Structure formats: structure tokens, C-alpha cells
Amino acid sequence: MTAPRRPVIAVVGGGIAGLSAAWELVTSSDIATGAGPPIVHVLEAGNRVGGKLDSAEFAGRTVDLAADAFLARRPEATELCEQIGVRDELVPVGTTGASILARGRLRPMPAALNLGVPTRWWPLARSGLLSPGESLRVTKDLVMPHLGAAPVSGDRSVADIIGERLGRPVVERLVDPLIGGINAGGVDELSAAATFPALIAASHQTGSLMRSLGRLPRPAGSAPVFWSLRQGTASLVDRLVDKLVNPRSAWDVSIHTGVSVDAITQASGNPSGGNPSGGNPSGGNPSGDNPSGGGTWRLTLGGINAAGITGNGEGALAVDGIVLALPAQPASVLLAVHSPMAAGLLSAIDYSSVGVVTLAVQPDAINRRLDGTGFLVPRTSPIGGRPALMTGCTYLSRKWPHLASAGTELIRVSVGRYGDERHTQLDDDELTAAAFGELAQVLDIHGGFSDSRVTRWSGAFPQYRVGHLIRVAKIEEAVAALPGMAVAGSAYRGVGIPACVGSGRSAARTVLASLGESSR
């Protein structure tokens, strides 16, 4: 009897979801397939792995160009950091609190918020975010339970629920910048079930929405809310890659950049599932001497480095399993022939594009005190009499003490959100000038900046519309019918780094389980 051959699995997409999937494939594989760790190819179209995690040297320090922190109370990212040995590199956020630009000036965010939604009236009233009349309107929530008609079941937009109970100004000045800001979207469309499930539950309770949200259990202890990495989030990616391709491990993982997967076909003669249990020891050979042999799936590869994998110029790779760790649009294209249903559902997930302008400014040129981690700019708050381009600002060297230096203040201005793509019409110099101009008005800066860097993230944030979770369940169900295939990434069940890590690992387990089934 021949020993079971090691399955070959492709991870398509080298963002944090894809890399986490690769990690799970090699660290948990024995359990599922019984054939030892699979041979894993991570295929990344771009010229570097990490996707939306990227860091760079700026003004003598390592700064993040997109995500700069992850939620500490979700376990997935912290656990991964422990497993790959970067736990000691984690740094807690150095200050708390933030402000909102509202009614003409920066106002500290009120205390007692639950994900941006007030849970007590008095701190909100005192914050000045609302006019006296608007504040009074909020008290209706305390005295008139269920302002709307009968309780509505199922998903609703975040704005719908909060607007009905606390009024539109709370939505526009607090909830949209905070919850909408996390997704660079707008709460008028964002699904409460997908972005803030506790809000749905609270809205079904009788009595005040604020009190219901205030009763929700809060994380105990003094653990930090956010972690960052001393050397930037790219150091998490770098360490993960080092571990995955470590020649001293028994794993066979190769990571290829500049290789896009342009099409997936089902290998002929093998229609009903991978058969990694024997017969073709060279199937899905990673070194390319028999790239078309054995696997269930055949990947058509493109990109400048494709030939380096297949070795024979054919541009195809045979694999037994696939984790598709891609944004919704490329995933939709690759799934179109195999599951029109999944492809159709994926193609309707919209994305917003954002930009980040990182600036180095002389501290003594800034005439306002920099309190907390920064400030948010609601869509309805103009700057200089015009609709603001900036959506928020992070005082990087306050938020992260390891970025502090006596001579320079590092400040990051964020631009763009769903429905506002004006930043894409500006070149880097124009965008920097516009962002700095607005910042100078808000913080009363006299003088210029000594260094700047623009980073653009097109198709950055998937928009979880009302009904998103049902859409995702249908996509997952449709993809589960394809042998050895699973999807992962920010398009599905959370855009944050922990959610993406969890999604990659879960997709990897799904693929292993499917291959384990087919080899039995």
C-alpha cells in the first residue's frame, strides 16, 4: 500500500488572510488529512506580500502606511503573534481619547460610548457635539421606549436603528465617523448585524437603547484595547513569512510574488474532488516538473514571475485545494465558471478607496494642543467653509510613544470614504497640499511640513450592506460545494486584522477537512 501523498494547496492572495491560511495549513494539517503537512504555494499578484499591511521608513522612524493597530480583545491576531514569536514586539496604544470636529471646532469624544454609540445622556450633552435642542431630543430615548413601530427583526442599517432612537445628529456627528470610519463607509447603508451585532440585540429590547447598550458586558481588567508592532505591521508579515519558509522546518511552503491567478479550471478526469491519497506522488509538484498532474484544480498563472513556478512555460499549476484569500472582485472572477451564484453575490460587494498622507511637522509650528490619539471629521463638518477632504487625523507620535521624537510631530491624515473619491482626482502633490491645508486650519499650524508621503489604497474597504451576513453565508455555502476550496479575507466577516487572521485560518481548516473527507 502506498503512503498517502501530501496534498498540494494554493493560497491565492498574500495578504494577512492568505498568510494566516498558509500558517494554519502547515501547523494543523496532520489532523485533517493524515498525510502530513501539505505542500503550500502562496500566490500573490503584487510585488510584495502583506496586502494592506505595509510599513516604511519615514522621517527616521518606521511608520505604518495603512493599518497601524489591531484590536487586542479579539484573540486571533494576538495568538498568531505569540505563535510566530513577535509577542514581545507588541506595543500598547500610548494615550486614550480622541476628538470630533463638530459645530465649528474640535470637541473631545464623550465618555461612555459603546462603539461610538452613547450609553449615557449627560456626557453626550456636555460634549457640545449637539446643540441644546438636539441634546434634548436624545432624552426621548430614555423616556419613550421604542419610538418606532413594532420591533423590526432581521438586519437593519446602523443609521436606521440609532437615528430612530437618538436622532439624526447623533448618527452624523458620532456614529458615522466612528463606525462608518472603521469601514470607510456610511452608516446609512452599513449592516448592523455585520458591523455591530450587539446593536441589533439592544434594539430589540424594550426600554432605552442607550441603557441597553450600557448594560452590555465590557472587557474586564486593564488590558490594552489596541496593539501595534514596534517595527510596524509589516514586521508581522515578515516574521510570518520567515517562519513559513524556514528551511529548518519540515514544511514545504513557497511564497511567490508577481504571480497572479488568472483562471481556475477543474482538472479533466478528476471532476469529483481531490485524491491526495495515493497513486500519483508527483501530483501538483511544486517544483514544476509535472505541474498539470494529479490535482483537482488547475490554476492559470500570469504575472512576471509565473514561469518561475511552472518551470515549463505552460503557466499552469495543478493543486488539490485552494484558499481564495482575495478581495471580492477578483474572487468573483475566478469563481464565475464554478459557482455563478457565489460569483454573482461577490461581484455586488462594493469597495471604498482611501488615501493616507503622512506628514512630519515641527512641534512648535502647531498652536493647538494635541490631545488623545487624533480627531475624526464627520461628512457634515466643513473645513474652511468647504466639504472636508480629510476624514480623520492620527497624532502618530502621541498614539504610539515609540514613534515620538523631540524634533518632529508625525501626523497622519486620512482621506476618502464610500461616496467620496475626490482624493483620487488629485496627484500626490495636490493631495498633500489639500490635506495639509485642512490640517493647518484645524490645528492652527503656522509654517509647513518637513516631510510627507502619500499612500493610496484603491478598493480598500468592502462595504457590508444590510443583509451582508446572509450574502456571506450563501457564498460560503456555494463554495463549500466545490471540493477542497474555501474563501477568506476582509470581504466576509470583518475587516480588522484579527477577523482576517481568523478567516484565513478557518478557510484553511475547511480545505483540509474537505481533502481529508475525499481521501477517506
Ligand X SMILES: Cc1cc2nc3c(=O)[nH]c(=O)nc-3n(C[C@H](O)[C@H](O)[C@H](O)COP(=O)(O)OP(=O)(O)OC[C@H]3O[C@@H](n4cnc5c(N)ncnc54)[C@H](O)[C@@H]3O)c2cc1C
Query: Which residues make up the interface to ligand X (CB under 6 A)?
Result: 12-18, 43-46, 51-53, 66-70, 260-261, 325-327, 330, 354, 356, 457, 460, 489-490, 495-497, 500
Looking up cell 479550471 gives: 265
439, three cell numbers = 490640517
* Closest to 96 (Cα-Cα) out of 230, 214, 226: 226
Q: Which residue has the cell 474537505?
A: 514
Residue 474 · residue 341 · CB < 8 Å: yes
Q: Are 309 and 298 in contact (CB under 8 A)?
A: no
CB of 73 to ligand X, least distance (A): 12
Q: Which amino acid is at 31?
A: I
CB of 301 to ligand X, least distance (A): 9
Residue 7 or 496 having the CB closest to ligand X: 496
Least Å distance, CB 479 to ligand X, is 16
Tell me the residue type at 310.
T
What is the closest distance, in whole angstroms, from the C-beta atom of residue 48 to ligand X in the complex?
8
Q: Which is nearer to ligand X, 205 or 305 (CB)?
A: 305
Say whether 133 sits in a helix, a strand or coil.
Answer: helix
For residue 246, the minimal CB distance to ligand X (Å) is: 22
β-partners of residue 462 are 351
Kindly tell me which of 123 and 226 has the beta carbon lying closer to ligand X.
226
Q: How far is the CB of 52 from ligand X (least distance, A)?
A: 4
Helix and strand numbers (H, E) in the chain are 20, 24
Q: What angle do CA 57, 406, 232 make, to 5 degrees?
A: 30
Shortest CB 326 distance to ligand X, Å? 5
Taking alpha carbons only, the member of 107, 225, 93 closest to residue 174 is 107
Q: Closest approach of Cβ 38 to ligand X, in Å?
A: 19
Indicate the residue among 7 and 18 with the shorter CB distance to ligand X.
18
Spatial separation of the C-alpha atoms in residues 335 and 316, rounded to whole Å? 17
| Amino acid in the structure at residue 410 | L
Which residue number, 58 or 457, has a Cβ lying nearer to ligand X? Answer: 457
Between residues 159 and 184, which has the closer beta carbon with respect to ligand X?
184
Angle, helix 16-27 to helix 233-244, in steps of 10 degrees:
30
Pick the closer one to ligand X by CB: 378 or 496: 496
Nearest to 42 by CA among 256, 319, 250, 311: 256
Residue 362 vs 455, nearer CB to ligand X: 455
Rounded to a whole number, what is the largest CA-CA distance in the chain?
81
* Closest distance to ligand X from the beta carbon of 255 (Å): 12
- Number of neighbours of residue 393 by Cβ within 10 angstroms: 27
- Cβ proximity to ligand X: between 71 and 388 the closer is 71
H helices of 324-467, in order, are 328-335, 340-347, 396-399, 428-443
Please tell me the distance from the alpha carbon of residue 285 to that of residue 41, in angstroms, as a whole number.
10
